[in-house]
Structure 1
Amino acid sequence: MGSTMTDQIESPTVRKVYHRLIPLLFLMLFFNYLDRSNIGFAELDMGDKLRLGPSIFGFAGSIFFLGYMVLEVPSNLLLHRFGARRWIGRILLTWGAVAALTAFVYDDTSFCVMRFLLGVMEAGFLPGIAVYVTKWFPERYRARAVGGYIIGNSIAAVLGGPSSTALMKYLDRFASLAGWQWMFIVAGAAAMILGLVAFRAMAERPADVKWLTAEQKAWLESALESEREALGGQRHVPVLRVIRDSRVWSLSILFGCALVGIYGLLLAGRFEPLSFGHQRC
């Protein structure tokens, strides 16, 4: 009897959590991809206007990952201190602001600086989302939850080209700004709006929301707490111990290098063949 009642609570609870959280996380991943990769489309017009060669775009595309990799671990330590909702919202607001301000770069140096800052502000986002999912989905449902939002990258890869080039074409010279400037502004503003939505729509734990019943909250909190206890509970790990752990940095570097390779291939197909002249950042 108890098992039957649990089954009646479990499925509707997980379904409700999925429909509440995953669409928002999906949109975050969608614009995360756009803000990283849209320099490939901007190069079509931005390069001529600012006299930036392919080598500058290649360097700017790579320097993004320097700040991203170095601050990945510290960012996630801060996420645990301030809470996933606040930290993810902060990441979205600051990365969106930097992405939008990229519209006003004026030379190779300012362009590279903004791309570096974008990586700094985005650091910890993907791992932070993964941590957030563990606070809401029992282990047997997490793969579906992760799949539901991570596909945002793939869809952005398909829709990013048409949407970015459409902005560049139809908003060109609107309010005296070039189309590539509007592309940065619109994508950055979307991330900032999602950051504000995150502060309001995301909650730190199931007990904090009103859209779950008392029975659903009790079941979900109990299921998640049982899993945490099986893993040793929420033991406090000193920050210095984390920073000194070579495994943490090895995995961070591995993840960062994988991203450099993936985005390098994506961007390389959009840039002209590299011409290593005298341009430099």
Structure 2
Amino acid sequence: MGRGDLTNAEWDRLESFLPRGGARGGRWSDHRSVINGVLYRVRTGVQWRDLPERFGPWETVYKRHRRWSADGTWQMLLSKAQTAEDAAGRIDWDVSVDSTAVRAHQHAAGARNTSPAVVPHKGVRPRTNQVDPVLRTGRPAGGGGQVGECLGRSRGGFTIKIHLAADGRCRPLALLLTPGHYGDGPQLRSVLEQLSVPRIGVGRPRTRPDQVLADKAYTSRENRRYLRRRGIPHTIPERLDQRRHRHARGSRGGRPAGFDRERYKKRNTVERAINRLKGFRAVATRYEKRAYTYLGTVTFAALIIWLRT
């Protein structure tokens, strides 16, 4: 076992979730060495061709990662890890929502087709009951632009945004990609709709948190109306201009939004979850040309976080 590889305890937790067969009914190469190879690349950000020989042929590691990003296997493994934690009562359902911008490397440019309808990997179909990773993008918010590969221009150049919901123990529960110039507020609904933790045995997946915490970027009437309609308590501060507008309207302005200052201090959990994700260098900088492959990289990093906490 090399530095940074999965420990025996982590591997024992992950092994039971893994698919058994390979393509066309064949057998996969050794799962542990390949997954450790993916982990090495995601952790260090090296080029695939520079993977150490102890992980086997770099093409095998790269193709496995690309295939499992396309067919939803990484997302399936993340869901199973979350299910096991939820069954043990180790998920804090005070959920915080935020986003982070990621700079796209020059190697991320040049994808041949940026249409989101393109099949991500030849001969691969998404798993049943899984959301197609290519379509897990948010709704436009000012500026428009194509969504296909989730690249947008902002102050930092070409960037992509990771929107996420994190539990009270700083672990990502739901992930969403948008171009870097998209606003945060309009993505609240899209992020929460990605939140789905299956249950062991009978029962629907859990999709509703006990509480939602977010900063002022999410303080719109539409977001508050959506949370009230779903019966989700929320702690979101009101912007100064909104307070002034409400006061100016007098009795027609309505009552002020409730705000628990002490509970709001817990919102730092999503910031710490972002710091954990960006500890993986292939997440902190996007090198992949295709959005679905980068989403697989982020999902894999989230899986490792769940295995190690």
- Alignment TM-score, normalising by the size of structure 2: 0.21
Using CA pairs under 8 Å that are at least 6 residues apart, name the structure with larger relative contact order, 1 or 2.
1
Q: Flag the structure with higher strand content.
A: 2
